[in-house]
Amino acid sequence: MKKLILLSLALIAMSLTSATANAGVVSAWGGAGTSGTDPFGNPWLLNSDGWGMPGVGEGNIPWGGNVPVSDFHITFDLPTGVVIDQTGFNDVFRLAPFSGGQDDWDMTVMNGNTIWFEAPDPSLILQPGQNFFVNVSFSQPLSVIAFEATWTDDHVVVPEPSTFALLGIGGLALVGYGVRRKRQQAA
């Protein structure tokens, strides 16, 4: 009986902590030069049109990560006078299936060298194997680039309070059952 109670309590604890286990940074990485790959094998390329995954105008690729992502943040080390062109083609698109612009992630440019892309709602989170592309345009063509990037998953499903209440009641019932059974055995 003691093992059953301990197992039940362990399961309750795991269910409470699993709600936030998938939140946060999926991968932080950087690159320099004209081409490379991220830690998941997704290629990136700098060409005369800008920086992209797989490259601006190079089509799309399947997300190589084994977990979903909802945000992509990238900071470029840009030469003086060069900034992210906010009127250019700056996008993260999730293409499974492509619905012509409704799969577009929200974009925010900060300080001229940092761009944040975020899925506007959970239905647009990039899932493993889904095709996507990333494009970032600059105010002028570059021959080489350096950057720091982060893929994150910030869309966390939080259990409702009633879920916690039910788990607590179940745990108390198991403890009460154990105490009652112990008293019956002692009598």
* pLDDT tens per residue, range 29-62: 999 999 999 999 999 999 999 999 999 989 899 9
| Residue 66: both structure tokens together | 């084994």
Residue 18 pLDDT more than 70?
no
**pLDDT attached to residue 13:** 58
Task: Answer whether 89's CB lies under 8 Å from 105's CB.
Answer: no
Residue 163 pLDDT more than 70?
no
Claim: this prediction has a pTM higher than 0.75: no
Beta bridge partners of 101: none
Task: Give CA angle at 182 (181, 183), nearest 5°.
Answer: 90
Task: Answer whether 78's CB lies under 8 Å from 113's CB.
Answer: yes
Calculate the average pLDDT of the chain. 81
More confident of the two residues 65 and 163: 65
pLDDT-based confidence at residue 22 (cuts at 50, 70, 90): very low
Neighbour count for residue 133 (Cβ, 10 Å)? 20
**pLDDT attached to residue 39:** 94
Task: Answer whether 76's CB lies under 8 Å from 84's CB.
Answer: yes
- In tens, the pLDDT along 86-134 reads 888 887 876 655 555 556 888 999 999 999 999 888 888 898 999 899 9
Q: Is 155 helix (H, G, I), strand (E, B) or coil?
A: coil
Residue ranges covered by each domain of the chain? 2-15+159-186, 23-153
Q: Which CA distances in Å does 150 have to 42, 130, 183?
A: 13, 18, 57
